[in-house]
Structure 1
Amino acid sequence: MAVVGIHGHGASHVRNVTRLPGAELVAVADPQGGGDLPAGVQVYAALDELLAGTEVDVVVICTPIQTHVPLAELAMRAGADVLLEKPPTASLDEFQQLTAVVGETGRALQVGFQAQASEATLTLAKLIADGEFGELRGISATGKWVRTARYFQRARWSGRRRLDGIDVVDGAVTNPLAHATAAALLLDGSTGVDDIRSIETELYRANPIESDDTSSVRITTSRGTPILIAVTLCATEHLEASVIVHGSKGRAVLTYQSDLIGTTKYGRADLLENLLAHRADPAVPLYVPLEATGGFTRVVEAVRTAPDPTVIPPDLIRWEGDGLDRRPILHDVEKWIDRASDELALFSEIRAPWVTPATRG
Structure 2
Amino acid sequence: MKKVGLAVVGVNNFAKFYLDKIKELEEEGEIKLTAVVIEDQIKNADQLRNLRSQGITVYNSYQKLLKESKQFVDIVCLPVSIPTHSNMAISGMKAGYNILLEKPPTPTVQELDAIIKTEKETGRFCSIGFQFIHSYTIRKIKQFILDGKLGNIKEIATKGFWPRFKSYYDRNDWAGKSLYMGQLVLDGPMQNAFAHYLNNMIYITGPDMNSSASLKKIRSELYRAHSYIEADDTSCMQLETANGTNIYFYVTHSPEKLRHPYMEIVGEKGEIKWTMENEKTVIKLNNEKVIKFDNNNIDPYKEEFRIVAKKQLGKIDNLYCTPENTRNFVVAINGAYDSAKKIKAIPKDLINEFINDDNEYQTILTGIDKLFDQAFAERKLLSELDIDWAVRTEWINIEEYSCFNPFN
Where on the TM-score scale, by shorter chain, does this alignment land: which range?
A: over 0.9
Q: Among residues 293, 296, 307, which one is paired with 1:264 in the alignment?
A: 293
Q: CA RMSD in A?
A: 2.3
Of 238, 253, 259 in structure 2, the residue corresponding to residue 233 of structure 1 is: 253
- Quick one: distance in 2 between partners of 1:340 and 1:168? 28
2:329 aligned residue: 296
Question: CA 1:125–1:42 in 2, change beyond 3 Å: closer, same or farther?
Answer: same
8 A contact 1:142–1:230 mirrored in 2 = yes
What are the equivalent positions in structure 2 for 1:172-187 lying under 5 Å apart? 172-187=189-204
- Work out whether 1:139 is the aligned partner of 2:147: no
Q: Could you tell me which of 52, 59, 63 is aligned with 1:48?
A: 63
User: Which residue of the other structure, out of 71, 79, 102, is the alignment partner of 2:96?
Assistant: 79
Q: Structure 1 residue 257: deviation in Å?
A: 5.1
1:28 maps onto 2:63 in alignment? no
Unaligned runs of 5+ in 2: 1-5, 283-291, 396-408
- 1:315 and 2:349 matched: yes
Instruction: Note the C-alpha offset of 1:254.
Output: 1.5
User: Which SS does the other structure have where 1:211 is aligned?
Assistant: coil
Amino acid at match of 2:62: L
Aligned partner of 1:4 among 5, 9, 16: 9
Shift of residue 243, structure 1, vs aligned partner: 1.7
Equivalent-residue separation in structure 1 for 2:146 and 2:348 (angstroms): 45
Deviations 1:68-91 (A, max 9, x none): 111111111111111100011110
Within 2, Cα distance between the matches of 1:152 and 1:58? 30
Which secondary structure does the structure 2 equivalent of 1:241 belong to?
Answer: strand
The reply on whether 1:125 has 2:147 as its aligned counterpart is no
Aligned to 2:361: 326
TM-score (norm 1): 0.92
Report how far residue 135 of structure 1 moved: 4.5
Q: List runs of 5+ in structure 1 lacking aligned partners.
A: none
Rounded to whole Å, the distance in 1 between the matches of 2:167 and 2:235 is 21
Offset, 1:133: 3.6
Number of residue-to-residue matches in the alignment = 360
What are the Cα deviations for residues 47-70 of structure 1, in whole angstroms up to 9, with x where unaligned? Answer: 112122322211000000010111
State the TM-score, normalized to the length of structure 2: 0.82
Deviation at 1:360, TM superposition (A): 9.4
Q: Deviations over 1:258-290 (max 9, x none)?
A: 222136312345111111111111643211122
Distance in 2 between the 1:61 and 1:297 partners?
18
169-178 or 344-353, larger mean C-alpha shift? 344-353
State the AA in 1 paired with 2:20.
Answer: R
Larger radius of gyration: 2
Moved more, 32-41 or 5-14: 32-41
Structure 2 CA distance for aligned equivalents of residues 327 and 224 of structure 1: 39
Q: Once the two structures are aligned, what percentage of the paired residues are identical?
A: 29
- Match 1:284 to one of 297, 301, 317: 317
Cα distance 1:154–1:194, how it changes in 2: closer, same or farther (>3 A)? Answer: same
